[in-house]
């Protein structure tokens, strides 16, 4: 028999939504959608500008002031572009896949707090659509389901390259969502809640960025892999898979995937801001001005958006600086580096929190000593070279293969050589025959054949 937990057993939710009416909820929902769409348009322009500066070129500078209307022009181009559907595709899944990706990406901001309670048309309401005790688990669930859009889009296209991109996406989600989830467990431990508003409230004295810095680094690496951005854009991989899971999409269906990718960048940036950078709270020393004046009213929206765009700049900076990893390197980082470090950090933070709560042991000295030991061990493990398997015994020398065995000519791979040409075979046979016969051995036919071979 399954029984519900009593209300007192659930972690607290500090935001009060009791004064919200249906039209206030509608205003908040529309404001979030508008914020995300405008932010995506600005992010496309921002990325082009920053990468252009990094590559010593101007970037968009023609359409509108500073090229700000270039993103709008690209969006209109996708709206009026011909919408093609692949004949071999599964029509229903092919159309639904980009919708799933966009819909799930829009759900995350429902539990992200933009600021404290404000007076909105005579009603005191928090700058947050909703919140509940397991809000962070809801965010992880939305991110997991959203990847089905990529997987189903690649599978339903009925083409090889999109299928490979969707398979890569599956492996990527399994690898990096594990590390991301483990990095967030320590935040739950120290804040004693999974509610986003309660986590922001728990960072009044200090942000969790400082005491949970290893978890923050793990989350940063995982969020780049989760959003399929360089250097972890293996599901797209234009250099090897044309455009990965988006190869067979055009017009608005392609735009939906494109929109979902940029909204997911904003999502993971907002999660990092909420869980590690104090959420909407002003940074020090601004937070100390006039007894925290800038942490009240509408000011916190400014700090929240500014923190998000710090992470957006990080995304663009990494894209313009780092090359794409190989698939084996990508898997190695996820399974052999991030997950072991995240597990070790969860155990350490849990033990430290237990010592601090139930014993009188001086935890500060233990904290620094254990952190130093763990850091040295983990750094040492990262630089231990992998044991390479010895090559299987085989014939020495390069392998001769038939280039026409598959029906069409194929160039040799490393370690392979082409067989000798027929002319070289005749020359080798003639030279061998002349050596066997000796200087006075051959007859007239042998001399004629030899002269024919050497004469070409």
Higher local confidence (pLDDT), 438 or 246: 246
User: Among 19-23, 236-240, 261-265, which is the least confidently predicted range?
Assistant: 236-240
Mean pLDDT of 157-175: 82
Provide the pLDDT confidence category of residue 275 given band limits of 50, 70 and 90.
very high
Residue 7 has pLDDT above 90, yes or no: no
Provide the pLDDT confidence category of residue 344 given band limits of 50, 70 and 90.
confident
Structure tokens, 93: 């899944």
User: How many Å apart are CA 157 and CA 170, to the nearest integer?
Assistant: 16
What pLDDT does residue 9 have?
Answer: 47
Residue 337 has pLDDT above 70, yes or no: yes
Provide the pLDDT confidence category of residue 290 given band limits of 50, 70 and 90.
low
Residue 30 has pLDDT above 90, yes or no: yes
> Model-level pTM?
0.76
Residue 57 has pLDDT above 70, yes or no: yes
Provide the pLDDT confidence category of residue 11 given band limits of 50, 70 and 90.
low
What pLDDT does residue 251 have?
Answer: 85
Angle made by CA atoms 187, 221, 98, in degrees to the nearest 5: 100
Of 395, 232, 399, 315, nearest to 39 by C-alpha is 315
Mean pLDDT of 337-341: 89
Higher local confidence (pLDDT), 289 or 222: 222
The overall average pLDDT reported for the chain is 81
Strands 123-127 and 115-120: antiparallel
Mean pLDDT of 352-379: 69
What pLDDT does residue 63 have?
Answer: 84
User: How many Å apart are CA 420 and CA 410, to the nearest integer?
Assistant: 15
197 and 16 Cβ atoms separated by less than 8 Å: no
User: Among 22-26, 187-191, 200-204, 399-403, which is the least confidently predicted range?
Assistant: 399-403
What pLDDT does residue 273 have?
Answer: 93
């Amino acid at each position: 028999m399954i029984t519900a937990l009593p209300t007192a057993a659930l972690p607290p939710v500090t935001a009060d939504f009791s004064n919200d009416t249906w039209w206030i909820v509608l205003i908040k929902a529309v404001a979030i959608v508008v914020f995300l769409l405008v932010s995506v348009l600005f992010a496309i322009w921002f990325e082009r500008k920053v990468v252009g500066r990094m590559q010593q070129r101007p970037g968009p500078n023609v359409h509108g002031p500073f090229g700000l209307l270039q993103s709008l022009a690209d969006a209109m181009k996708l709206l009026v572009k011909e919408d093609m559907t692949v004949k071999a595709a599964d029509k229903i899944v092919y159309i639904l896949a980009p919708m799933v990706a966009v819909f799930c990406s829009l759900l995350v901001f429902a539990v992200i707090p933009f600021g404290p309670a404000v007076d909105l048309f005579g009603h005191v309401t928090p700058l947050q659509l909703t919140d509940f005790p397991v809000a962070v688990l809801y965010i992880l669930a939305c991110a997991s389901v959203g990847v089905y859009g990529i997987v189903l889009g690649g599978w339903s296209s009925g083409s090889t390259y999109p299928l490979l991109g969707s398979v890569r996406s599956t492996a990527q989600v399994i690898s990096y969502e594990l590390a991301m989830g483990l990095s967030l467990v320590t935040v739950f431990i120290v804040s004693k809640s999974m509610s986003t508003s309660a986590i922001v409230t728990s960072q009044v004295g200090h942000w969790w960025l400082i005491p949970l810095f290893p978890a923050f680094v793990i989350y940063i690496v995982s969020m780049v892999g989760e959003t399929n951005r360089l250097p972890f854009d293996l599901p797209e991989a234009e250099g090897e898979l044309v455009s990965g899971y988006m190869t067979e999409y055009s017009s608005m269906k392609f735009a939906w995937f494109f929109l979902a990718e940029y909204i997911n960048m904003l999502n993971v940036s907002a999660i990092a801001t909420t869980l590690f950078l104090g959420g909407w709270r002003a940074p020090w020393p601004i937070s100390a001005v006039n007894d925290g004046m800038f942490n009240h009213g509408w000011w916190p929206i400014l700090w929240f958006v500014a923190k998000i765009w710090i992470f957006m700049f990080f995304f663009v900076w990494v894209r313009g600086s780092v090359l794409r990893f190989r698939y084996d390197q990508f898997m190695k980082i996820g399974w052999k580096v991030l997950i072991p470090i995240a597990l070790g950090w969860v155990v350490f933070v849990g033990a430290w929190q237990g010592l601090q709560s139930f014993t009188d042991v001086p935890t500060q000295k233990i904290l620094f000593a254990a952190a130093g030991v763990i850091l040295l061990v983990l750094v040492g493990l990262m630089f231990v070279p992998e044991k390479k398997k010895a090559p299987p015994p085989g014939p020495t020398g390069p392998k001769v293969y038939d280039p026409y065995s598959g029906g069409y000519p194929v160039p040799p791979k490393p370690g392979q050589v082409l067989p000798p040409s027929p002319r070289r075979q005749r020359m080798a046979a003639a030279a061998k025959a002349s050596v066997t016969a000796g200087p006075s051995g051959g007859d007239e036919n042998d001399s004629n054949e030899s002269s024919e071979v050497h004469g070409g």
